[in-house]
Amino acid sequence: MFQIWTVGQIDDWLSYIQDNKGKVESDLGLTGISVTPRTLIVIGRSASLTEGNRRKLTVMLSQRPRLSIMTYDELISRSKAQVENLLGPL
Residue 24 has what pLDDT? 96
pLDDT of residue 7: 85
CA distance 35 to 38: 10
| Confidence at residue 6, expressed as pLDDT on a 0 to 100 scale | 80
The residues spanned by each domain of the chain are 4-83
- What backbone torsions phi and psi does residue 19 show, to the nearest 5 degrees? -80, -20
DSSP strands (E only) in the chain: 39-43, 67-71
Q: Residue 71: phi, psi to the nearest 5?
A: -85, 165
Cα–Cα distance for residue pair 13/83, rounded to 1 Å: 30
Q: Considering the entire predicted model, what is its pTM?
A: 0.73
Q: State phi, psi for 43 to the nearest 5 degrees.
A: -115, -175
Residue-level pLDDT at 44: 87
Residue 71: pLDDT band (50, 70, 90) is: very high
| Averaged pLDDT for residues 49-77 | 92
Q: What is the pLDDT of residue 27?
A: 96
* Residue 89 pLDDT grade (very low, low, confident, very high; cuts 50, 70, 90): confident
